[in-house]
Amino acid sequence: MLEVAVIVLFLFWAGTLAMFLAYIRAQKLIAVQQAQGDALRDQRIKDLAKRVDDYQNGNVRMGEDLHALRAVVGPLPDKLAQLEQRDPSSLSFAQAARLVGMGASVNELTQSCGLTQAEAELMSKLHKS
């Protein structure tokens, strides 16, 4: 009877050992799968962090460009007001000089700039030489 009890206890011990080893293998497999998942998650986090950095850098560059554009465009209303307040006769002479440089005739100067015939001839002679 003692021999049967020892054999039964040995079988229980062997079964428990087999179940314990199977449990250890399953835990190792779970640990490997979890490590792979963690590595994938970490890579996605790095990719997303890079995308956020790229987005922030783009926004910073856009802000700098807007600031530069504001510096260029800001004084334009004052310059426009100055141009509107300029003497219209000096503007027509400047326009006439530019047209002569482009090859305009005396008749074209009188029509487009409002100059007299004598003024147009004078502008033509001055700016052609």
- The confidence score (pLDDT) of residue 53 equals 97
What does the pLDDT read at residue 116? 86
- pTM strictly above 0.85: no
Q: Is 45 exposed, middle or buried (0-12, 13-18, 19+ CB in 10 A)?
A: exposed
Q: Look at residue 116 and give its three-state secondary structure.
A: coil
Instruction: Give pLDDT, residue 110.
Output: 84
Structure confidence by residue, pLDDT tens digits, 32-63 = 999 999 999 999 999 999 999 999 999 999 99
Asked whether the predicted pLDDT for residue 125 surpasses 60, the reply is yes
The larger pLDDT score, comparing residue 39 to residue 117, is at 39
Q: What is the pLDDT of residue 90?
A: 59
**27: which 2 tokens?**
């835990």
The predicted-structure confidence for 60-95, as pLDDT tens digits, reads as follows 999 999 999 999 888 888 877 776 566 655 557 778
